[in-house]
């Protein structure tokens, strides 16, 4: 075994947004055994960094659904694949036309035209500062790392269906949490991000176990040699996984890591 590659929200942490003691202990035990721990998340780097520091994770982290790979110690972006500016502006215009003011990520900071109840809830959940800029289209001068429409989970599938014909092949569209519709550079995914990390630190798919819970984790599990979905995972991910484990409230990832380490300590 070379690495465990883990999604964060819904996989390592639950609604309380906390890394539990058993999970922290399992991460530490894996690292002590010489196994890399790679976090692959849709979050921006500044949002995931406190968890990496708490867990002592020093390997490159996959952020923004794979659009960035970052050195957690220095904060330096090792890979950055933003949305081309023209495509981003077109996507923003479409979202505004459809009644959604997106979150816009530039330079690892979060910008909105104006605060809405959804953007405030999102910022509070991820404990992030948010900057209001007024006219987002007029303000945006550089390619954003990603765009996110935050809204009622019941409304987002229809929004996605409206966007897809206009943006197909030019952005990726995925859901992470039920109230987040995420847009990024075409061809980017957690799988491509993990492949960048693997190339940098010499990991193989066959030596990697990946864990996830969302539609956005499909490429992550597809890249790894063995994929584990948490029990409450998106149906497509459950179907694609080799195995299921309990959710973060029951330290599911920790249980798998512990079981692996226990078996291999006896050999």
Task: Report helix, strand or coil for 260.
Answer: helix
Over 70: is that where the pLDDT of 267 sits?
no
What whole-number distance in Å separates Cα of residue 246 and Cα of residue 132?
39
Q: What is the mean pLDDT of the chain?
A: 94
pLDDT at 175: 87
Distance in angstroms (rounded) separating the CA atoms of residues 109 and 74: 17
Q: What was the pLDDT predicted at 181?
A: 94
DSSP at 135: S
Specify the residue for token string 């036309």. Answer: 97
Is the pLDDT score of 20 beyond 70?
yes
pLDDT for the residue numbered 150: 86
Q: Does 122 have pLDDT greater than 80? A: no
Helix (H, G, I), strand (E, B) or coil at 85: helix
- What share of the chain in percent tops pLDDT 70? 99
Measured between alpha carbons, how far is 125 from 123 in angstroms, rounded to an integer?
5
Parallel, antiparallel or unpaired: strands 61-63 and 68-70: antiparallel
Q: What is the pLDDT of residue 128?
A: 80
Token match 């020093």: residue?
A: 58
Q: Which residue has the higher pLDDT, 11 or 118?
A: 11
Place of tokens 């800029």: 133
Q: In residues, how long is the chain?
A: 267
The phi, psi pair for 90, rounded to 5°, reads -65, -40
Distance CA 108, CA 44 (A): 6
Q: Where are the alpha helices (DSSP H) in the chain?
A: 21-32, 45-55, 85-97, 117-126, 136-139, 156-167, 190-201, 218-223, 235-240, 252-265
Give the residue among 96, 127, 129 at the shortest CA–CA distance from 113: 96
Q: Per-residue pLDDT tens for 160-215?
A: 999 999 998 999 999 887 888 999 999 999 999 999 999 999 999 999 999 999 99
pTM assigned to the model: 0.94
pLDDT at 127: 75
pLDDT score for 178: 82
Closest CA to 67 of 39, 103, 41: 41
Q: For residues 8-25, give the mean pLDDT.
A: 96
Alpha-carbon distance of 67 to 184, in angstroms, equals 7
| pLDDT (0 to 100) of residue 120 | 76
Q: How far is CA 157 from CA 83, 170, 184, in A?
A: 22, 19, 17
Instruction: Read off the pLDDT of each residue in 129-146 and give the average, rounded to a whole number.
Output: 95
Q: Which of 213, 68, 220, 76 is nearest to 146 (CA)?
A: 68
Burial class of residue 16, CB neighbours in 10 A (0-12, 13-18, 19+):
exposed
């Amino acid at each position: 075994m070379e690495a465990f590659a883990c999604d964060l929200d819904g996989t390592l942490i639950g609604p309380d947004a906390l890394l539990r003691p058993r999970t922290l202990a399992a991460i530490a035990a894996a690292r002590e055994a010489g196994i890399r721990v790679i976090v692959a998340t849709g979050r921006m780097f500044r949002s995931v960094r406190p968890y990496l520091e708490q867990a002592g994770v020093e390997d490159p982290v996959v952020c923004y659904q794979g659009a960035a790979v970052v050195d957690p110690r220095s904060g330096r972006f090792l890979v950055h694949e933003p949305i081309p500016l023209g495509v981003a502006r077109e996507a923003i215009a479409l979202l505004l036309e459809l009644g959604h003011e997106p979150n816009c990520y530039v330079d690892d900071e979060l910008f909105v035209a104006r605060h809405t109840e959804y953007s405030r809830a999102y910022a509070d959940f991820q404990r992030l500062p948010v900057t209001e800029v007024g006219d987002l289209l007029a303000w945006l001068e550089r390619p954003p790392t990603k765009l996110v429409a935050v809204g009622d989970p019941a409304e987002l599938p229809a929004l996605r269906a409206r966007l897809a014909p206009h943006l197909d092949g030019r952005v990726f569209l995925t859901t992470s949490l039920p109230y987040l519709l995420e847009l990024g550079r075409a061809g980017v995914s957690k799988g491509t991000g993990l492949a960048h990390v693997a190339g940098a630190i010499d990991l193989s798919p066959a030596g990697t176990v990946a864990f996830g819970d969302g539609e956005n984790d499909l490429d992550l599990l597809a890249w790894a040699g063995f994929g584990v979905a948490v029990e409450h995972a998106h149906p497509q991910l459950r179907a694609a996984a080799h195995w299921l484990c309990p959710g973060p409230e029951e330290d599911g990832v920790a249980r798998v890591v512990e079981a692996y380490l226990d078996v291999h300590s006896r050999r």
